[in-house]
Chains A and B, each alone.
Chain A
């Protein structure tokens, strides 16, 4: 398996523009997570899905952020309008609830580095 695939790897945009980050989870995984990593705040959970349904979006910073998972193999995180404080590395991760212990370790993508000028 190719692992979790994220695009773009790098995005530079101007304040006010719309940003869309994409994620393809590992095939067969039923959980998908979006995290944001910054120096100041560390690794923050934004939202996670189970079987394409959002379960917990309490970490989404504000209404400018939205996430969707239209099918089991694709998710997007959208920021509209973007602001300089949104600059961060955004990670997608997936996990599987199958298996004997249902342990749920996460498999991360390489991340999307967003810079908002």
Chain B
């Protein structure tokens, strides 16, 4: 059974700091990995999708890497801003089915 773990559970940083969020998964048989952002009481916004054959994806100040063999992904946020405050979720799409398996998320607070 696939398990996805995100560390840390919560993170508070001053504005302008670069930061890394971690995601690990137990079964490397995945199609892809997605990073999402969720604001309180809101839906999910897809940030980055990394296919299993890819090593990283970049969008603006965000960079996500994937090491499938070791079951790890990182989301790097450069020059953090208060507007980045949200919960960040990692999810993997397994080859055995069509479901996304989510981590519990990292709650990020960027202080002005």
Q: Do A and B bind each other?
A: no
